[in-house]
Copies of this chain bind each other. A is one copy, B any other.
């Protein structure tokens, strides 16, 4: 049964810098090495800044539980295999997805500086978090970025009955002016599992077409949905995209595939063995960056004009607006999540930036 939670008072706004340091210090206190703690804090706080808390600090608790049980390696002794001039595969040795994702995308960008395009895969990793973060790293450097990750099965195939693929996100970013890059970041399922968890926590019904319960019947109850399975977005098309992500991030990298990927929340018997895949395309290999930006302006203007009086937003626009608002007034954490962080920090004598 879904209950509507009473709204609680926020702990007040916290700066990105303050939250990053807090998250990093908590991670360090729980045995995460400095390099990975910095990466985890960076990626999580970015998700908060762009208004996607589902990929943010709410994941810290479960990830640190996994660190405590030796299911995420600290430090991460990854091995980068240069397989050819413009590709590489990283054996992630069980480290944080946040860390390995940054390493992989940065390496792809270095290779693409010389070769114009590069692709880097990662195997034996864990939860990647916001795929858009890594794609956007490329856009910040004048490149087009792709990021793909598989995850443990909770989505049915089109026409299938049992979960076989993860919500398998795909992200794409292209440079635009003032860092307001075009940024696509979507699950290939009808919705991300984190969105269902959020509705289950806060109370509320799912939109139609997101999920079926354990009997295979459509459900709008998030609690039933969490016991059942998610549907792919747009039927066969979403299933196709999800398979594309699984082939790139899972099959081609040598990572776990389908049930070979473990659940971050439910399976404490094994590491995730998630796989990720990144592509960086150097705009300079095609045209001067200024020409590209001018052409992106034209595309944005055409899209905007097509609203004929209605506002039409580019993918990413809502994220950059949230980023600017959060930069100006600070991040408002969900009170329950703030409590969780305080509970993780307190025993180690780490003070919350809002305390």
A residues bordering B, Cβ < 8 Å? 83-87, 89, 114-119, 121, 144, 156-165, 172, 174, 182, 184, 186, 233-234, 236-241, 243-244, 246-248, 250-254, 257-259, 279, 281-283, 285-287, 292, 295-296, 298-299, 302-303, 305-315
B86 close to A315 (CB less than 8 A): no
Q: For the complex, give the distance between the alpha carbons of A345 and B233 in Å.
A: 45
Q: For the complex, give the distance between the alpha carbons of A252 and B115 in Å.
A: 16
B160 close to A121 (CB less than 8 A): no
A315 close to B240 (CB less than 8 A): yes
Nearest B residue (CB) for A293: B251
B184 close to A244 (CB less than 8 A): yes
The 8 Å CB contact of A257, one of B121, B248, B299, is B299
Nearest B residue (CB) for A187: B237
Q: Is the interface of A mostly helix, strand, loop or mixed?
A: mixed
- Copies of this chain in its oligomeric complex: 2
Q: For the complex, give the distance between the alpha carbons of A340 and B184 in Å.
A: 43
Q: For the complex, give the distance between the alpha carbons of A287 and B254 in Å.
A: 8
Chain B residues with CB under 8 A of A174: 247, 251
B182 close to A243 (CB less than 8 A): yes
B162 close to A306 (CB less than 8 A): yes
Chain B residues with CB under 8 A of A254: 286-287, 295
Q: For the complex, give the distance between the alpha carbons of A281 and B308 in Å.
A: 41
Least CB distance, A261 to chain B, in whole angstroms: 11
Given the contacts A83-B285, A306-B156, A308-B161, A299 and B246 also touching, CB distance less than 8 Å: yes
Q: For the complex, give the distance between the alpha carbons of A310 and B159 in Å.
A: 7
Chain B residues with CB under 8 A of A306: 156-157, 160-164
The 8 Å CB contact of A86, one of B116, B160, B287, B311, is B116
Q: For the complex, give the distance between the alpha carbons of A157 and B303 in Å.
A: 7
B247 close to A296 (CB less than 8 A): yes
Chain B residues with CB under 8 A of A259: 302
Q: For the complex, give the distance between the alpha carbons of A295 and B243 in Å.
A: 13
Q: For the complex, give the distance between the alpha carbons of A162 and B310 in Å.
A: 10
B298 close to A116 (CB less than 8 A): no
